[in-house]
Amino acid sequence: MKKLKISHNNMAYIYLLPWIIGLLMLQVYPFVKSFYYSLTDYNPLADPKFIGIANYVRLFTKDKEFGKSLAATIEYVLVTVPFKIIMSLVIAMLLNKGRKGIGALRTIYYLPSLFGGSIAVAVLWKVMFMDQGMINAFLNKIGIGTISFFGNPSTALPTLSSLEVWQFGSSMVMFLAALKQVPSSLYEAAEIDGASKVKSFFSITLPQISPIIFFCIIMQTVNALQNFTSAFVITQGGPLKSTYMLGLKLYNDGFLYMKMGYASATSWVIFGLVMIFTLVLFGTSRFWVFYGDED
């Protein structure tokens, strides 16, 4: 009997086999290799030569693009992630009231998020926001005048960010599902105690759905740190490198100029940012993320 049980559980390794191979060959090995490459002058045409931390030194001291890339990336994350989360939360709260016609509205809010990093919507943004585009025609009509969205370093990044924020629907759907799980007895109790709506939002709703908010913030931060498509298609990193995000720099250095060792160093900076953001978020999580009902 005992023997049977052991062999039963060992069956797991057969089911896990594809994952184990994939993990070792296509995730762990590339991960380690990427760090090694970042310490070399690797390009696809020659064998990599070990050069120590020279790539990193160059990034942080000589590469004038890098500072701008770093600033653009961090700004992009700090603008898009909070905006997306707040939008999703507000709309989810409004849709959660069981109003009529919610289904259609939910569909409309959700739809843009399905286009993700799609080229089609990036092209659309470019056409809408170009100097002679529809948005500027409207701004002229109401007397504001033309704004060169992609020609001005101070407006280019916010315009790209607006494309990202437009796609807040997926976290909204998650929040909607989470809001449905909050036991209504909690609200009833709060009402009996005479708590105001605002009070019960902050002391019941937010704590109850905080694990989902936390999950969304982490996933969106990791994604936003790697943003590539919109910068590549719409602005090519310009003007004056104001939208030259690290994802784009990585692609240009590695696959356009074939400096793959150098680009690997950039990828480790992206990874470093992912780690910093995640650690900070996890560090703060014990103050605001509430894991009440573990199952």
Partner 1 sequence: MTRKKKKQIHEIIMYIILILVGFLMIFPLIWMFFASFKSNEEIYGSISLLPQSFSWEAFVNGWQGIGGNTYTRFFANSALLVLPTTLLTVVSSTLVAYGFARFEFRGKKPAFALLLSTLMLPNAILVIPRYSIFRSLGVLDSYMPFYLLAAFACYPFFTYMLIQFFRGIPRELDESAYIDGCGTFRTLVHILLPILKPAMFSAGLFQFLWTYNDYFNSIIYINSVKKFTVSMALRLTMDSETVVIWKNVMAMSCLAVLPVVVLFFFCQKYFVDGIATTGLKG
Closer by beta carbon to partner 1, 133 or else 153: 133
Shortest Å distance, C-beta 196 to partner 1: 15
Burial environment of residue 24 by CB neighbours within 10 A (0 to 12, 13 to 18, 19 or more): exposed
Shortest Å distance, C-beta 248 to partner 1: 10
Closer by beta carbon to partner 1, 37 or else 76: 37
Which DSSP string corresponds to 43-92? BTTB---B-TTHHHHIIIII-HHHHHHHHHHHHHHHHHHHHHHHHHHHHH
Q: Which tokens belong to 194?
A: 């005479």
Shortest Å distance, C-beta 79 to partner 1: 18
Closer by beta carbon to partner 1, 71 or else 222: 222
Alpha carbon of 120 to those of 13, 128, 171, 227: distances in Å? Answer: 42, 12, 22, 16
Closer by beta carbon to partner 1, 200 or else 278: 278
Residue for token pair 């060169």: 148
Contact by Cβ (8 Å): 230, 186:
no
Closer by beta carbon to partner 1, 155 or else 278: 278
Shortest Å distance, C-beta 254 to partner 1: 6
Q: Which tokens belong to 131?
A: 């100097």
Shortest Å distance, C-beta 146 to partner 1: 9
Q: Which tokens belong to 290?
A: 């509430």
